[in-house]
A and B are shown apart, each in its own frame.
Chain A
Amino acid sequence: MRKKIRYVLTFVAVFLVSATTFAQQVVLSGNVKNSFTNENAAAVSIAVKGTNEGTFSDDKGNFSLQVKSLPVTLVLTSIGFAEKEIVVNNTADVAFITLEPASELGQEVVVSATRLSQRILESPVSVERVGAGSIRTSPAASYYDVVTNLKGVDVVTSSLTFKTPTTRGFSGSGNVRFNQIVDGMDNQAPGLNFSVGSVIGVSQLDVESMELLPGASSALYGPGGMNGTLLINSKNPFKYQGLSFEIKTGMMHTDGKQRPTSPYHNWNLRWAKKVSEKFAFKITGELIQAKDWVAQDYRNFNRIGTLGLPKEGTRETDPNYDGINVYGDETTADINAILQGIGQQAPFLAPYIATLTQTPTRVSRTGYNEADIIDPTTLNFKVGGSLNYKINSNTEAIIAGFWGTGNTVYTGSDRYSLKDMRVGQYKVELNSKNWLLRAYTTQENAGQSFNATVTTRLTNEAWKPSITYAADGVTPNPQQTDWYVQYAQAFLSNKLGGMSDMDAHNAARQLADMGRPAPGSPEFKALFDQVRKRPIPAGGLFVDKTDLYQVEGQYNLSDWTSSVADILIGANYKTYVLNSGGTLFADTAGNISIREIGAYIQAGRSFLDERLRLTFSARYDKHENFEGRFTPRVTALFKVADNSNIRLSYQTAYRFPSTQQQWINLNVGGNTRLLGGDPSFRKFFNFDSNPVYFLSDLREGNIVAYDNVDYKPESVTSYEIGYKGLQLEDRLLIDVYGYFGQYQDFLTRTLLVQSKTGSPIELADTSNGTFYSVPVNIKDKVKTYGFGIGLEYKLPYNFSIGVNASSDQITDLPTGFVSFFNSPKYRFNGTLSNSGFGKNKRFGFNITYRWQDAYFYQGDFASGDVPAFQVLDAQISMKLPKSKSIIKLGANNLLNQYYYNAIGNAQVGGLYYMSFGYNLY
């Protein structure tokens, strides 16, 4: 019995000891501060050396971490601070920790270059990184604009909130050759084919970093990254905690050039909470409201099919005037037929009419300016959030979503008002140390978005038909109430009264326009809204609800293979579901699904005592409508000295034709229809029985039949050499690159013409025929080359100066080749900043200067010369440490020197703001 009792006591004792030991995990609680400013240091990584355990300091610099026992060594790291190791023997050792500020130069960690974390200095390909700190100190009113100042970046500004960056040429509004990936999700609107990064995506306070990969990047990121990939990463709520907000209020249009001075509002909110060591969440929101820049290029131009070039003439001097940012005037007709009809009715006038109709008398309808038809209010509202659960120290489950809506303006083949457009991106992700699984969807809803051109043309028709047609819809049946009939009769009457041609035209227009709803009038608004709300083709509304679904996974096998090579594998499967109800795509009969599948592998190994690292990547993708494509990439990184590396790369990329290039079926006016390249279109539009011909050839008098060759993906091969390193005691960061690229099977569009009557094609059909814009591959190879150099120098007293210059050029262009290269030969950026001066180092400033050379812009909407321009941005800030807040006074385009970077887009003027930010980090 005693023995039993002893056993029991022993068991209890052991249990108690064990339990005590278990319960005796040590809790380390402390606070981290900036040793220089004595401010709390948030989002500092505090890791237990040699384990996977760790935590982050919260927004007050506090942290709490359980360790099994003491002593332990804690490793504290944070961008902008020197790494610090602390041997903790006692909990008091971590009560107050200070971190020494250190130069960030070259120390940033990037993931995009190889899909693995590495210092930016050791990236084997060119990569640019913008961290939250840079965004915070940038004068840019929106974080998306910070990209503009990166080396080699071109941005096309369609409107205040619609900006499209790209690198290495081929810039354009809604560039499909440049991927944008937000938290692993392709940010491209699947139906409209433009990235919605600046409209819908991560809110500014939730951006942890933006990584830009210039040039070909398909090998890791899949089809589309022909010219680069921008990855935007949001903040993890475990790491970045607390409530933050920023209220930015400013003004635009201060000179009244485009419209009266108007306010600019940008409100940001982020709240993240680590509920426990296992669970955290975040909620983010951003609201931008402003009066947009006004596109008011009223120059006359040759619309689609004739290179879109501006030309002489005004509404008063050209009866067929078609203003670039004037809509409704795309409707054009030759009034000679009506005049000749009058001659038949009144033979005594026939000889005279014959003198007037020896050449076509093309007349366009009177249009409305963009300012008259597009809602001037830019509104952008984004919300986002995530639920993060740590399954174990290595694995985190994430449910996240971004949803946004708003009004903005986009330039495609026409100007589009994106009104109440809604895009949501939702994902479920399992992210472990060595692997990840992700499923996401992009849900697009065009809302009340409409094509400004089509809507205005149809508004004109709704008010007064141009010409009445018989029941068959083809045979003209002119009526006295038709606009062109009234115009032609008045024109003839005016001519008979002795007027000059132009006066006769202008007076005729005045008569035909009598009673026309005035811009801004209730009558006009009612009529316009009526048309705007009707789906294409009866109205201007595009009912696009296209979705994208993707599943992907990645595994890092290095734990098993590192003795041979570090190997990474991954795969993805995506499905597009085109759903526009026939308003954009040929999906009248039902949704169209498009499937793609792809897989990649990357192997890397170091040689020569870690001085040389070679990486080979390869990706294979199969699209259901195209043959599979293989894209390899080989990179080499030579470590020439500590913090100095030379990189060499051979990269390839390709792009499947976009969903629009496959399935669009859109009448854009001027007898022109945009078609996808799917072979079924040829049958539907009777290309076999009523052949189509190349319009450009026909214009030159040559009849060249369309060859009906199937289109295929375009590709690029790129070679690059670069150097990135720290010099002058690590105070100077140098980044230099040079590249050469060759594009093959370049995808562009060409115009075809078809006889309306089925008769053999003739020269007159260049005006009278039916036109189709179809995607085609250019047989010739196009070469591009360029370079970039960037210097960033840390000066004393917290001053910093950075300059970069870059160049992109295209060569071997065949005659007449429309490349859409759209890139200046040279561009330059310079930044001077100070992160702390004055009393208690509370003040800071940042001045950014940007200049870019003139270039010739080619677009689907309009083309022409874009003059060189310069922009000066600046901000000055003051910290209020006690309230953890910062006040900033800033200006974008400080000198209010209007500039534009694409024909047909608005000119951008000065934006001046003041902001109050709380708990920004």
Chain B
Amino acid sequence: MLSVRKIKTGFALLISGALLVTSCNKDPESFPVPENNPATGDLLGTVLQNSADDSLYYRLIVHSGLASSLNSNRNYYTMFVPGNNAMKQFINAISGGLVPLNAPDAVFSQFIQTQIPQATAASIVMYNTVPEDVAFANFGSSFPNFQYPTLLNPAPSISALLRLTTFPSTRNGNWVNNVPVTVADREAGNGKIHNVAAMVAPPQRYIWDRINTDPELTYLKAAIIRGDSATNQGGATAGTIQAYLMNIGANFTVYAPTNAAFQDLLTAAITRALVAQGVPLATAQVQAATLASSPTVF
């Protein structure tokens, strides 16, 4: 009996020893891997698809070919979305009133599908979409307005970093490019939707376009061209004033003297110059008025 007990004890010790030595050595301490999980829940495209009041804008998204991008669970966006009423006003406007505001929704949808080129639709949607998931309050109320790049690159062949920008602000309410925000911070899995009262549109043209075509600014145009010619070969080559005014990314405010202002200024200046050269005042005034009467004075 004793020997059996000894055998048992020995066997138990053997088993214990075997268990001891076969228990594994530990690997180096590991750390939890920070999560970089894809977005979950209804994504932007889906939220808009399921929203009756956003059906027309969603139709525009589908037409633009961006629906799948907006439903990416790896990318995060903030969208400025005009509701159906705003979309109707937008279509009414761009159709020149051919699509009346009280037309059935199907007519608006049909217009979007057939009358708005796909590229244009994409530009519209991209301009109304900015990267990242931004609660509207975070745009801030600073002045001038926060300039936030959109997805729309007007000249990708020049640089992948070119972007048209929006100008959201929370100063005296919520605004984007001076368009009121009607509903802010609608949540989606991969971003936010801020409904706007009207289609947010980018500036339609460069400042130079305005200066170049406005009959009241012909003196300013001539002055700029003259100025550029002094330091350059002229035209809109890099470094000229024209180039700055045609910079798609620039955000300028130009104090533009009208032609009359230029004429007054020039007449006075030329008169002073002629008088200083000994020309009688009356003669000088006549000559000055003649010279200043045309932008060719530059």
Whether a CB of chain B sits under 8 angstroms from the CB of A313 is: yes
**A346-B162, A347-B251, A493-B160 as given contacts; A897 in contact with B151, CB under 8 Å:** no
Asked if residues B131 and A349 are in contact (CB atoms below 8 Å), the reply is no
Whether a CB of chain B sits under 8 angstroms from the CB of A396 is: no
Chain B 1-42 interface 0/1 with A at a Cβ cutoff of 8 Å (1 = within): 000000000000000000011111111111111101000000
Contacts of B24 in A (CB 8 A): 897
Asked if residues B249 and A872 are in contact (CB atoms below 8 Å), the reply is no
Whether a CB of chain B sits under 8 angstroms from the CB of A50 is: no
Contacts of B161 in A (CB 8 A): 342, 346, 349, 489, 492-493, 496
Closest to A872 in B: B21
Contacts of A865 in B (CB 8 A): 29
Complex Cα distance, B149 from A313, in Å, reads: 31
Whether a CB of chain B sits under 8 angstroms from the CB of A612 is: no
Interface residue from A312, A346, A898 paired with B249 (Cβ < 8 Å) = A346
- Shortest Cβ gap from B168 to chain A (Å): 11
Whether a CB of chain A sits under 8 angstroms from the CB of B214 is: no
Complex Cα distance, B26 from A867, in Å, reads: 6
Size bin of chain A's contact surface: 35 or more
Number of interface residues of B (CB under 8 A): 39
Whether a CB of chain A sits under 8 angstroms from the CB of B59 is: no
- Shortest Cβ gap from B35 to chain A (Å): 8
**A849-B21, A897-B25 as given contacts; A500 in contact with B149, CB under 8 Å:** no
Contacts of A895 in B (CB 8 A): 21-22
Asked if residues A496 and B74 are in contact (CB atoms below 8 Å), the reply is no
Asked if residues A352 and B148 are in contact (CB atoms below 8 Å), the reply is yes
Asked if residues B21 and A867 are in contact (CB atoms below 8 Å), the reply is no
- Shortest Cβ gap from B81 to chain A (Å): 16
- Shortest Cβ gap from B153 to chain A (Å): 8
Asked if residues A317 and B28 are in contact (CB atoms below 8 Å), the reply is no
Chain A 296-307 interface 0/1 with B at a Cβ cutoff of 8 Å (1 = within): 010110000000
Whether a CB of chain B sits under 8 angstroms from the CB of A498 is: yes
Complex Cα distance, B58 from A579, in Å, reads: 75
The B-contacting residues of A in range 464-513, CB under 8 angstroms, are 489, 492-493, 495-500, 502-503
Chain B 42-67 interface 0/1 with A at a Cβ cutoff of 8 Å (1 = within): 00000000000000000000000000
Complex Cα distance, B31 from A879, in Å, reads: 51
Chain B 122-161 interface 0/1 with A at a Cβ cutoff of 8 Å (1 = within): 0000000101100000000000001111010000000111
Asked if residues B31 and A313 are in contact (CB atoms below 8 Å), the reply is yes
Closest to A489 in B: B161
Chain A 765-797 interface 0/1 with B at a Cβ cutoff of 8 Å (1 = within): 000000000000000000000000000000000
Complex Cα distance, B131 from A499, in Å, reads: 8
Asked if residues B165 and A348 are in contact (CB atoms below 8 Å), the reply is yes
Asked if residues A503 and B36 are in contact (CB atoms below 8 Å), the reply is yes
Complex Cα distance, B148 from A352, in Å, reads: 6
Q: Which of B21, B32, B251 has the most CB of A within 10 A?
A: B21
**A503-B36, A870-B25 as given contacts; A347 in contact with B31, CB under 8 Å:** no
Q: Which of A492, A498, A849, A900 has the most CB of B within 10 A?
A: A498
Closest to A495 in B: B131
- Shortest Cβ gap from B167 to chain A (Å): 10
Contacts of B30 in A (CB 8 A): 299
Closest to B165 in A: A348
Closest to B21 in A: A872
Asked if residues B21 and A312 are in contact (CB atoms below 8 Å), the reply is no
Contacts of B25 in A (CB 8 A): 867-870, 897-899
Asked if residues B151 and A498 are in contact (CB atoms below 8 Å), the reply is yes
Complex Cα distance, B28 from A899, in Å, reads: 9
**A352-B147, A869-B25, A869-B26 as given contacts; A496 in contact with B31, CB under 8 Å:** no
Whether a CB of chain A sits under 8 angstroms from the CB of B80 is: no
Complex Cα distance, B35 from A503, in Å, reads: 12
Chain B 62-78 interface 0/1 with A at a Cβ cutoff of 8 Å (1 = within): 00000000001011110
Complex Cα distance, B34 from A300, in Å, reads: 12
Closest to B167 in A: A351
Contacts of A500 in B (CB 8 A): 36, 74-76
Closest to B29 in A: A865
Whether a CB of chain B sits under 8 angstroms from the CB of A310 is: yes
The B-contacting residues of A in range 849-870, CB under 8 angstroms, are 849, 864-865, 867-870
Contacts of B74 in A (CB 8 A): 499-500, 503
Closest to B23 in A: A870
Closest to B20 in A: A870
**A495-B131, A498-B75 as given contacts; A299 in contact with B28, CB under 8 Å:** yes
Interface residue from A489, A867, A869, A870 paired with B29 (Cβ < 8 Å) = A867
Whether a CB of chain B sits under 8 angstroms from the CB of A318 is: yes
Contacts of A346 in B (CB 8 A): 159, 161-162, 249
**A346-B161, A351-B148, A500-B74 as given contacts; A495 in contact with B29, CB under 8 Å:** no
**A299-B28, A870-B21 as given contacts; A317 in contact with B33, CB under 8 Å:** yes
Interface residue from A317, A350, A496, A903 paired with B131 (Cβ < 8 Å) = A496
Contacts of B23 in A (CB 8 A): 870
Complex Cα distance, B246 from A293, in Å, reads: 64
Whether a CB of chain A sits under 8 angstroms from the CB of B163 is: yes
Complex Cα distance, B25 from A899, in Å, reads: 6
Complex Cα distance, B29 from A865, in Å, reads: 7
Contacts of B20 in A (CB 8 A): 870
Q: Which of B28, B74, B77, B148 has the most CB of A within 10 A?
A: B28
Interface residue from B28, B77, B159 paired with A864 (Cβ < 8 Å) = B28
Interface residue from A314, A498, A898 paired with B76 (Cβ < 8 Å) = A498
Interface residue from B26, B34, B147 paired with A351 (Cβ < 8 Å) = B147
Asked if residues A497 and B131 are in contact (CB atoms below 8 Å), the reply is yes
The A-contacting residues of B in range 201-260, CB under 8 angstroms, are 249-251
Asked if residues B29 and A864 are in contact (CB atoms below 8 Å), the reply is yes
- Shortest Cβ gap from B249 to chain A (Å): 4
- Shortest Cβ gap from B45 to chain A (Å): 13
Contacts of B27 in A (CB 8 A): 867, 898
Complex Cα distance, B208 from A131, in Å, reads: 95
Complex Cα distance, B26 from A898, in Å, reads: 8
Closest to A865 in B: B29
Asked if residues B149 and A352 are in contact (CB atoms below 8 Å), the reply is yes
Complex Cα distance, B30 from A496, in Å, reads: 34
- Shortest Cβ gap from B292 to chain A (Å): 36
Contacts of A849 in B (CB 8 A): 21
Contacts of A299 in B (CB 8 A): 28, 30-31
Complex Cα distance, B131 from A867, in Å, reads: 46
Complex Cα distance, B31 from A317, in Å, reads: 12
The B-contacting residues of A in range 279-318, CB under 8 angstroms, are 297, 299-300, 310-314, 316-318
Asked if residues B147 and A348 are in contact (CB atoms below 8 Å), the reply is yes
Chain B 157-189 interface 0/1 with A at a Cβ cutoff of 8 Å (1 = within): 001111101000000000000000000000000
Interface residue from B28, B162, B163 paired with A310 (Cβ < 8 Å) = B28
Q: Which of A347, A865, A868 has the most CB of B within 10 A?
A: A347
Complex Cα distance, B160 from A601, in Å, reads: 80
- Shortest Cβ gap from B191 to chain A (Å): 8
Asked if residues A349 and B149 are in contact (CB atoms below 8 Å), the reply is yes
Interface residue from B72, B76, B250 paired with A347 (Cβ < 8 Å) = B250
Complex Cα distance, B34 from A284, in Å, reads: 56
Complex Cα distance, B283 from A559, in Å, reads: 135
Complex Cα distance, B24 from A50, in Å, reads: 59
Complex Cα distance, B249 from A909, in Å, reads: 61
Complex Cα distance, B74 from A495, in Å, reads: 11
Interface residue from B33, B75, B159, B250 paired with A497 (Cβ < 8 Å) = B75
A-B contact pairs, 17 of them (CB 8 A): A313-B31, A317-B33, A318-B34, A346-B159, A349-B149, A349-B163, A352-B149, A489-B161, A496-B149, A498-B132, A499-B76, A500-B74, A503-B74, A867-B25, A867-B27, A867-B28, A872-B21
Q: With A351-B148, A898-B25 given, can you name 4 additional A-B contacts, CB distance below 8 Å?
A: A346-B161, A348-B249, A349-B149, A499-B76
Report, nearest first, the 10 A-B pairs whose CB atoms are least far apart: A348-B249, A498-B75, A312-B31, A867-B26, A869-B25, A498-B131, A897-B25, A317-B34, A502-B36, A899-B25
Q: Which residues of B contact A (CB under 8 A)?
A: 20-34, 36, 72, 74-77, 129, 131-132, 146-149, 151, 159-163, 165, 191, 249-251
